[in-house]
Amino acid sequence: MKRLKDKVAIITGSGAGIGKGIAETYAKEGAKVVIADFNEEALKATVKELSDSGYEAFGVVVNVAKENDIEKMFTETIEKYGKIDIIVNNAGVGDNMQAAGNVEDDVWERVMAINVDGVMRITRRAIPHFQENKGGVIVNMASISGLTGGRGGFTYTAAKHAVVGMTKSVASQYGPENIRCNAIAPGQIQTGFAAAMKNIDKFGMEQATRAVNLIPKPGEVKDIANIALFLASDESSYINGVTITADDGWSAY
């Protein structure tokens, strides 16, 4: 039996990378998936791939930093499928590895708007719907930077710590209403995320990569997608407020 049969899942930032991998995994397990992404071209390509493979999927262009876009995402999903069971807050951007002494206001504001405010607004919008439906699941994409201090830029580290905190808060406050919220903290995963950063802060990068030689091996998208599947399924029904580290033991050193 498929683990997400008849579930409706919104995955933000799912046009490519980890988000796309999660969407594909959910679809194979029976979920109706909503591909929510800022990149319309990537979004359409992913929806086509899934639809051509016989899965149920549709796309919504969303900038998670905009309240109106988030409202549109919820409205269109409910109009099409009648409900939402799972939300994966995956959309995020990097901070060019800027160290604290080199942080630029525009970088800080952009990272916080997408990586923190976006998660807050989507969660805020989801809670009443989950309460009405007597339950729901949120999977947040944190980072190893949300659990440590030296593996990312200053702003990104602060943002991902906030995501970990929001995860715990939701689980604590709404767990009794059958609402679960967990997070994943990936280490180095083979995607184009790091390559998308420009104007890298040399000092920040040097400090953050001091221990990369201790990484046993980089992870693959499927490694994170499989964890996201577990957290969305009933198999993890007794897990709430947890951030799962997925770095092959890197942070254990």
Report the alpha-carbon distance of residue 217 to residue 215 in Å, rounded: 5
Report the alpha-carbon distance of residue 169 to residue 158 in Å, rounded: 17
DSSP element (H, E) containing 204: helix 202-208
Catalytic residue among 26, 55, 156, 174: 156
Q: For residue 227, list its beta bridge partners.
A: none
| Angle ∠(134,4,147) on CA atoms, nearest 5 | 80
Q: Where are the beta strands (DSSP E) in the chain?
A: 8-12, 32-37, 57-61, 86-89, 136-141, 179-186, 243-246
Say how far residue 231 (Cα) sits from the centre of its chain. Answer: 12
Q: Are 144 and 250 in contact (CB under 8 A)?
A: yes
Nearest in space to 151 (alpha carbons), one of 69, 96, 86, 212: 212
Count of alpha carbons within 13 angstroms of residue 110, beta-carbon side? 11
* Structure tokens, 94: 């990097």
Active site residue 156: yes
CA dist 78 → 82, 129, 137, 227 (Å): 4, 10, 16, 26
Find the Cα–Cα–Cα–Cα dihedral 57, 28, 194, 70, rounded to 10°: 30
Q: Any idea which residues carry the catalytic annotation?
A: 156
